[in-house]
Amino acid sequence: MPHKQPPGRPIPDIVVGRLPFYLRTLRSLAAEGLEITSSSELGDRLGLTSAQIRKDLSYFGEFGKQGLGYNISFLIVQLRRILKVDRIWEVVLVGAGDLGRAIANYHGFHDRGFEIRFVFDSDPAKVRQSLSQYTIQDIASLVEKVRAAKIRVAMLAVPAAAAQNVSDLLVEAGVQAILNYAPTSLVVPKGVYVQNIDPGAHMQRMTFYLEA
Amino acid sequence: MPHKQPPGRPIPDIVVGRLPFYLRTLRSLAAEGLEITSSSELGDRLGLTSAQIRKDLSYFGEFGKQGLGYNISFLIVQLRRILKVDRIWEVVLVGAGDLGRAIANYHGFHDRGFEIRFVFDSDPAKVRQSLSQYTIQDIASLVEKVRAAKIRVAMLAVPAAAAQNVSDLLVEAGVQAILNYAPTSLVVPKGVYVQNIDPGAHMQRMTFYLEA
């Protein structure tokens, strides 16, 4: 979901939003054994024009040589640095329902720069139960534990009605980036970033284009 | 994820992508009992400027009167029509793992214009088992059943390695819109729309803005 652009940054957020997909695709190409790629190959994989890809990457420097294409492993290193995932960010997951369970069981985050450190829920029947390799913690201890661990990234998988309250707790604890799965908009202070995952919204974005 | 813009359409896809969030917010306001809203109230809820909201909505007509704000229920009707969710789209879900289970158990789709009709999986241990109110079907029957039911929208919740093959089956069956949860880009023919839900990518879009 769009958010207000931080002042003074010249790079459009929409460009920033495409970089993770470039990185993901470059890693796939590397996994296939390729060493060099081109903006047109990346474009074919991503459903974008090669001009778009060249323009997006040009915000960050010169990554390819005319006619020689991009060195894949070099560009991966650069994109990981630009996106600040050349390190591992600890993440707090709030919500141990069906979706929280799927998230906790998913093993693809570490490769992308993230590692779930804590899982919280407010349901007494879930607190102290196991979920994947985690013990579900009482949300009453969230602020204290997240602050002590200096965690800055959260995934929010709670019902819509609870989301704003939990978001407030996360912000109080020092979280600056919230991946919001609850189908409601969060109001957060300046300097806190929210991305919304809402399958209903993403499908509506496509039905717009379909003939009724 | 961005996709190539259909030719001749003057409305930027980024604007289309915001409309579902406007609709979602308007429905929240209506549920709170409000009848009238303003671009600045919508902006505060959505983390956007009021100018952005007025500009986005102006692509589709005149929805508010200067100084009088927007009639919420009127704007809801208009946005549902514009997004073509003033009807119910049947959806096929492929993948009955943890994530597919969370999706099948989620009851928020109908309100947004979608209803899961079939759930498919390729795992013989899952086929013919129950999942929520569905019986998991063998993926071998996907093309035939989806085509017969004229289903045009799909949710893809399979591992990355299987996603392109399943996407090809969906396209063969007549699907035109794919919500892709697999962390890989799909190559689809022109006229087929893909939106990617990738929590790793969405978090990387935020860490870009954080101080390392």
A10 falls in which pLDDT band (50, 70, 90)?
A: confident
Q: B203–A114: do the CB atoms touch at under 8 Å?
A: yes
Say yes or no: A75 and A120 in one domain.
no
Q: What is the pLDDT of residues A49-71, one digit of tens each?
A: 999 999 999 999 878 777 788 99
Q: B102–A105: do the CB atoms touch at under 8 Å?
A: no
DSSP readout, A197-210?
Answer: --HHHHHHHHHTTS
B184 contacts on A by Cβ (under 8 Å): 24, 28
Q: Which of A17, A46, A176 sits opposite B205 (nearest CB)?
A: A17
Say yes or no: B94 and B43 in one domain.
no
Say yes or no: A93 and A183 in one domain.
yes
Residue entry with tokens 């054994």: A33
Q: B21–A105: do the CB atoms touch at under 8 Å?
A: no
pLDDT at position B6: 45
* B150 inside domain: yes
Say yes or no: A105 and A69 in one domain.
no
Say yes or no: A102 and A33 in one domain.
no
Domain count, chain B: 2
Cβ–Cβ contacts within 10 Å for residue B180, how many?
25
Rounded distance, CA A167 to CA A184, Å?
11
Q: C-alpha distances in angstroms, B55 versus A13, A198, B49, B59, B174?
A: 18, 23, 10, 7, 35
pLDDT at position A89: 98
Say yes or no: B117 and B159 in one domain.
yes
CATH number at residue A78: 1.10.10.10
Nearest to B155 by CA among A159, A206, A191, A168: A206
CATH number at residue A135: 3.40.50.720
| Assigned token pair, A126 | 């879930």
Is the dihedral angle over the CA atoms A195, A201, A207, A209 positive or is it negative? negative
Say yes or no: A74 and A99 in one domain.
no
Residue A163, pLDDT > 50, answer: yes
Q: What is the mean pLDDT of residues A106-121?
A: 96
Q: A179–B203: do the CB atoms touch at under 8 Å?
A: yes
Q: Which of A14, A21, A25 sits opposite B14 (nearest CB)?
A: A14
ipTM for the complex shown: 0.94
Q: Which of A1, A17, A210 sits opposite B176 (nearest CB)?
A: A210
Domain finish residue from A82, A109, A138 = A82
pLDDT at position B64: 73
Q: What is this structure's pTM? A: 0.93
Mean per-residue pLDDT pooled into runs of 10, chain B (212 residues): 49 94 97 95 93 93 80 96 97 97 95 98 98 97 98 97 97 98 95 97 98 83
B residues 179..208 contacting A (CB < 8 A):
179, 183-185, 187-188, 193-208
Phi, psi (deg, nearest 5) at residue B171: -65, -45
Q: Which residues pair with B177 in a beta bridge?
A: B153, B193
Report yes or no: B66 at the A interface, CB cutoff 8 Å.
no
Domain extent at residue B162? 89-201
Say yes or no: B73 and B130 in one domain.
no
